[in-house]
Structure 1
Amino acid sequence: MPHRDENEIVTCSAGGVLLETLATGARVRRLRVEAGTGPREVVLGHREVAEYAAAGDHMGATVGRFANRISGARLELGGRSYPLSANENGNTLHGGAAGFGARVWTVVSSTADRVEYALTSPDGDQGFPGTVHATSVYQVHPDGVGLELRATCDAPTVVSLTNHAYFNLAGRGSIDDHLLTVPADSYTPTDDLLIPTGEVAPVAGTALDLRVPTRIGTAVRRPDDDVLTAPRGIDHNLVPDGTGLRVVAVLEVPDLRLTVHSDAPGLQVYTGNFLDGSTRGLDGAPIRQGDGLCLEPQDFPDTPNKPAFGSCELLPGQTWLRRIRWTFEPLVPGA
């Protein structure tokens, strides 16, 4: 039977993959996979449920109603202006102060390898118009995890959901030595508050040129690269090549490779720049700057206020759908 319990942890597994999810935020709490040298925890998480709300780092959460930033905490839709919850420098981040990642989702169903969460967001929630019914479904496979995010509404609104997992394929320590590849020729430049300017620019010549495997520590410490200044590292929306379900990122350490597939038009790459050691991970160690990497398939940030980016409007009778797939491949070091 469907039920809600903020402390409930649901465990799903298949083959050598074990996934723990938490109803608060319909979030990934733990993900263990087989690396070339044995099983390994590959995402960051907190020990206690209360730590997730206190930290404000969106760790592992399903975020929405609109992922990333909306400028000025204001939405223009259908000739009306809607003031939104402002929770970062006067802007709306990940749906506002009480976005989807802060909510207790309902466990609709769970099996040995699958769990479905649901959330109803009422009209006016964080200022957004229309009631939205959202679902977040995790399906565990022997080689990884599939995630389907869906939403419907009863009045015109905007929707963009994603997952905010922090990956560390080494299991602990810094992600500096991870190799990251993002097949993207362009990105969306931002201002000093990380709001897109509305342009799309080439990655060539910047730290965001990740078209070949790039050591993360080298990319985020490039001298005299202005794109790194305001976010104190990489926190940018890249535009992966192609459309539909495709490879949008590859992350690698010597004994493990993660391939991310998605059908989203954008991918936020965030190098954990504002993790500050004030919270602790599942192992009790402080979570510090650069300890995790977010790879968030998404619609472009601030799309509701940037007509050039297209539309994120959802209408009654439509179903919004986003697919994400994390595939893990164990590697033999030095092979």
Structure 2
Amino acid sequence: MAASKITKDVFGTLPDGRKVERIVLRGDGGFEARIITHGAVLQALITPDAKGGYDDVVLGHDAFAGYLTERKFFGATVGRYANRIAKGRFSLDGETVQLAVNNGPNALHGGLDGFDRKLWEIAEIDEGAEPAVTLTYVSPHGEEHYPGRLGVRLTYRITGPTELSLTMEARTDRPTIVNLTNHSFFNLEGATAGTPILDHKLTVAAEHFLAIDPTAIPLPEPPRSVAGTPFDFRDAKAVGARIRESDQQLQNGRGYDHTYCLGRDGKLALAARLEAPRSGRIMELLTDHPGLQVYSGNYLDGTISGKGGKLIRQSDAICLEPHIWPDAPNRPDFPSPRLAPGEVYRHHTVYRFSVRSP
């Protein structure tokens, strides 16, 4: 009998007694995506290497306690608004909304108790040719001071032998803003390899990026050209090739922590490619969203341990987060995050894995 493409078990328990479930989706060979209902987290992603082995390539924790005690967004679904909003304040239809300020002077990743801290419901499990799990969360009007009751539906699906697709939809009962993303930290040498990602080769399909101030809010200027700067990844370059150059933008971000402007126009297309030199793993990221946050793990400081008990240090992983641009509610020149009743917010991202040819 063929092994099931989907299994489910209990990963942990919240302090109030509610169970956190884990769903395992299986593709070809040993390819697996493991999702937990707390934060709709991608807890593990098992992918092949060039020698035929398999390893987990996303940072996180082996046990649920780690996700409760430290809020580092490992693999989490981030919302209502991914990235930053300046001073936690924006206007919507003439009304001023003041959010909690939780990142210096700004609001970050949905506030003090964002979607990454919520227990999502399992709405559907599909054991067909493309195994999938659909999770839902309803954010009430006023949660974290965001207007509108927002219903979110998220599906993780194995869409190829070594391909994971993530789709998100959201609907509201009154005008609001929404900007969702997955916040996985990738190391294609393996989550417990203990080697930084500075020698990973990165390609980003963008000619412009958003320059930021020292609090990581985009400057009041148009997107800057990557040409002639350390931010030019139009051709594959090692992440660490220019990360220590004397550049004001690198200083402001303490490395790479910047949005690349993709110009998707709602169409799924290649945004980035990442390749590890030793394992030979390659990840292609496709998205239909207009921005890609490239974050080189600058604030990982060795104060917490992850899988295998390994301390997690600066540049131990890289995040590639597709989303609408940061502070867009305050920037009419940016893609709009506004969602009105009757409209549907949609987000589609694909993580496609392969290995380098011998």
Normalised to the residue count of structure 1, the TM-score between the two structures is: 0.95
Give the match for residue 70 of structure 1.
Answer: 85
Give the match for residue 324 of structure 2.
Answer: 299
Give the match for residue 22 of structure 1.
Answer: 36
The Cα of 1:259 is off from its aligned counterpart by 0.3
Residues in 1 aligned to 2:335 and 2:234: alpha-carbon distance in whole angstroms: 25
Does the 8 Å contact 1:185/1:241 carry over to 2? Answer: no
The Cα of 1:249 is off from its aligned counterpart by 0.2
Deviation by residue 1:138-178 (Cα, 9 ceiling, x = unmatched): 00131210000110000000001000000100112210110
* Residue type of the alignment partner of 1:158: I
* Residue type of the alignment partner of 1:168: N
**Out of 23, 44, 48, which is 2:59 matched to?**
44
Which segment is superposed worse, 317-326 or 205-214?
205-214
The Cα of 1:50 is off from its aligned counterpart by 2.8
Which segment is superposed worse, 49-58 or 186-195?
49-58
Does the 8 Å contact 2:264/2:288 carry over to 1? Answer: no
Deviation by residue 1:170-205 (Cα, 9 ceiling, x = unmatched): 112210110000011101111110001243111112
Does the 8 Å contact 2:167/2:349 carry over to 1? Answer: yes
Give the match for residue 284 of structure 2.
Answer: 259
Paired positions, count: 330
1:235 aligns with 2:249: no
Give the match for residue 147 of structure 2.
Answer: 129
Does the 8 Å contact 2:181/2:323 carry over to 1? Answer: yes
The 5-angstrom pairing of residues 197-216 of structure 1 reads 197-199=219-221, 200-216=223-239
Three-state SS of the structure 1 residue aligned to 2:255 is coil
Residues in 2 aligned to 1:139 and 1:58: alpha-carbon distance in whole angstroms: 21
The Cα of 1:245 is off from its aligned counterpart by 0.7
Give the match for residue 184 of structure 1.
Answer: 206
Give the match for residue 20 of structure 2.
Answer: 7
Give the match for residue 33 of structure 1.
Answer: 47
Three-state SS of the structure 2 residue aligned to 1:257 is strand
Give the match for residue 56 of structure 1.
Answer: 71
The 5-angstrom pairing of residues 249-328 of structure 1 reads 249-254=272-277, 255-328=280-353
* Residue type of the alignment partner of 2:297: G
Deviation by residue 1:69-104 (Cα, 9 ceiling, x = unmatched): 011111210100011121111211011011111111
Give the match for residue 116 of structure 1.
Answer: 134
* Change beyond 3 A, Cα 1:280–1:6: farther
Three-state SS of the structure 1 residue aligned to 2:87 is helix
Residues in 2 aligned to 1:205 and 1:99: alpha-carbon distance in whole angstroms: 38
* Residue type of the alignment partner of 1:32: I
Normalised to the residue count of structure 2, the TM-score between the two structures is: 0.89
**Out of 156, 164, 178, which is 1:138 matched to?**
156
Residues in 1 aligned to 2:253 and 2:105: alpha-carbon distance in whole angstroms: 16
Residues in 2 aligned to 1:103 and 1:188: alpha-carbon distance in whole angstroms: 30
Give the match for residue 167 of structure 1.
Answer: 186
Residues in 1 aligned to 2:242 and 2:42: alpha-carbon distance in whole angstroms: 27
* Residue type of the alignment partner of 2:216: L
Does the 8 Å contact 1:108/1:117 carry over to 2? Answer: yes
Three-state SS of the structure 2 residue aligned to 1:7 is strand
The Cα of 1:242 is off from its aligned counterpart by 4.7
Q: Where does structure 1 lack aligned partners over 5 or more consecutive residues?
A: none
The 5-angstrom pairing of residues 75-114 of structure 1 reads 75-112=90-127, 113-114=131-132
Runs of 4+ in 1 over 6 A off after TM superposition: none
Residues in 2 aligned to 1:264 and 1:236: alpha-carbon distance in whole angstroms: 15
* Change beyond 3 A, Cα 1:120–1:242: closer
* Residue type of the alignment partner of 2:78: V
Does the 8 Å contact 2:275/2:282 carry over to 1? Answer: yes
Q: Where does structure 2 lack aligned partners over 5 or more consecutive residues?
A: 1-9
Does the 8 Å contact 2:290/2:335 carry over to 1? Answer: no
Which segment is superposed worse, 229-238 or 42-51?
42-51
Deviation by residue 1:107-135 (Cα, 9 ceiling, x = unmatched): 11224421111001011111100010011
* Change beyond 3 A, Cα 1:318–1:234: same
Give the match for residue 216 of structure 2.
Answer: 194
Which segment is superposed worse, 106-115 or 119-128?
106-115
